């Protein structure tokens, strides 16, 4: 482990391997595994994460946008890459870098088909997204006839998979809704195969789906947040390992008297003598103002220290009155000992938002096997 002398995001590839193997163990040997590495691999480092997963023989990667796929290709990633939300402005780039778009509407299908035809491509790999209840992106079941008609006797595109996305697979109270999505996807898959006379891969499960609805794993399953150590369930979280740890160091320690204020807008005023430590990170690094004013704590030498006053752009102040510490000591915001999920809950948000919000100016340190 490196000594902490600045703000760093520590990325543990050993934990990534553990999580991948755990999630794979929930699937049949024949079920393919798609790893979601969008948004810098959930705020970590997409290139290091993807390279590690490629050595573990992952079957597919998924990114949100074309430029994310381009970064992986330029880093040497050879594994197929699905672009979940392709934009027409980047269709040429998608083709140039051999990325595979998820086509989700009549407009997107027709525009991509046109670009592929202009480039004289044959059997270009694409995926067809269906909406089964999330109501975000996707064709409806009634659009199957249009897809079949549009692609009839055309060889420009090769449909690799059809997919959908569960809306609430982590919520046991929404089991009936989730099952209705799976049942609808069953109907879509059957009709699609029949109308187009093909049998592409099918996939609908996300991380929580893998855990809670393994019967619906079809030919492939997708995992994003689970790879990074969060399963949307405490029991599952206990079996996963957190991949990233956000650490920093104490820049300065102040002793303040009663009725002294700390930080902008004087949001904290001491009632007694207190000892305050300043940390070199703030809302420009992804720790927003919502974490300030006594809502959230960090770990200093194994003890909890509350964030006090408003979080600044580049600094945070914490109360270390009852903690033995010195300038230069390590401080852990979240990671292996305090989860990002628990940290995020203090500000009424979720681990996804916290993790993906960590600024790229925070130095990444990768721990290899």
Any idea which residues carry the catalytic annotation? 38, 264
Q: Which residues contact 247 (CB under 8 A, 6 or more apart)?
A: 4, 7, 8, 9, 10, 330, 331, 332, 333, 335
Cα–Cα distance for residue pair 170/148, rounded to 1 Å: 34
Residue 221 pairs in a beta bridge with 33
Instruction: Assess contact for 260 and 36: CB atoms under 8 A.
Output: no
Instruction: Assess contact for 314 and 288: CB atoms under 8 A.
Output: no
Instruction: Assess contact for 276 and 253: CB atoms under 8 A.
Output: yes
Instruction: Assess contact for 172 and 204: CB atoms under 8 A.
Output: no
Cα–Cα distance for residue pair 244/363, rounded to 1 Å: 12
Whole-angstrom CA distances from 88 to 91, 116, 155 are 5, 12, 21
Using the CB atoms, write b or e for 232-258: b if 16+ within 10 Å.
bbeebbeebbbbbbbbbbbbeeeebee
Instruction: Assess contact for 250 and 331: CB atoms under 8 A.
Output: yes
User: Alpha helix locations (H) across the chain?
Assistant: 13-24, 38-43, 46-55, 66-74, 91-96, 106-118, 144-151, 175-196, 207-212, 234-237, 340-345, 351-356
Maximum Cα–Cα distance for the chain, whole Å? 81
Give me 277's structure tokens: 């430590």
Give me 247's structure tokens: 């650490």
């Amino acid at each position: 482990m490196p000594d902490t002398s600045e703000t760093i995001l520590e990325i543990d590839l050993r934990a990534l391997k553990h999580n991948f193997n755990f999630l794979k163990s929930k699937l049949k040997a024949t079920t393919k595994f798609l790893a979601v590495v969008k948004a810098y691999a959930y705020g970590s480092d997409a290139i290091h994460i993807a390279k590690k997963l490629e050595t573990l023989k992952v079957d597919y990667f998924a990114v949100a946008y074309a430029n994310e796929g381009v970064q992986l290709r330029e880093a040497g990633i050879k594994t197929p890459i699905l672009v979940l939300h392709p934009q027409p402005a980047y269709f040429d780039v998608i083709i140039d870098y051999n990325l595979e778009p998820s086509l989700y509407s009549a407009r997107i299908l027709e525009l991509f088909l046109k670009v592929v035809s202009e480039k004289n491509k044959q059997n270009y790999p694409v995926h067809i997204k269906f909406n089964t209840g999330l109501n975000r992106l996707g064709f409806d079941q009634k659009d199957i006839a249009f897809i079949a008609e549009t692609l009839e006797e055309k060889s420009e595109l090769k449909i690799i998979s059809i997919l959908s996305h569960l809306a609430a697979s982590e919520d046991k109270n929404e089991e009936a809704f989730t099952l209705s999505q799976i049942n609808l996807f069953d109907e879509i898959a059957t009709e699609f195969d029949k109308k187009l006379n093909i049998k592409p891969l099918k996939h609908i499960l996300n991380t929580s789906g893998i855990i809670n609805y393994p019967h619906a794993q079809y030919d492939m399953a997708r995992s994003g947040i689970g790879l990074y150590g969060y399963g949307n369930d405490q029991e599952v979280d206990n079996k996963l390992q957190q991949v990233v740890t956000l650490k920093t160091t104490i820049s300065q320690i102040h002793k303040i008297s009663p009725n002294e204020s700390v930080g902008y807008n004087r949001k904290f005023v001491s009632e007694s003598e207190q000892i305050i430590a300043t940390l070199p990170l703030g809302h420009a690094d992804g720790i927003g103002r919502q974490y300030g004013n006594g809502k959230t704590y960090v770990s200093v030498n194994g003890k909890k220290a509350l964030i006090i006053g408003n979080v600044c752009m580049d600094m945070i102040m914490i109360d270390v009155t009852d903690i033995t510490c010195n300038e230069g000591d390590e401080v852990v915001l979240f990671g292996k000992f305090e989860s990002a999920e628990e940290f995020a809950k203090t500000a009424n948000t979720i681990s996804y938002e916290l993790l993906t919000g960590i600024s790229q100016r925070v130095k990444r340190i990768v721990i290899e096997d």
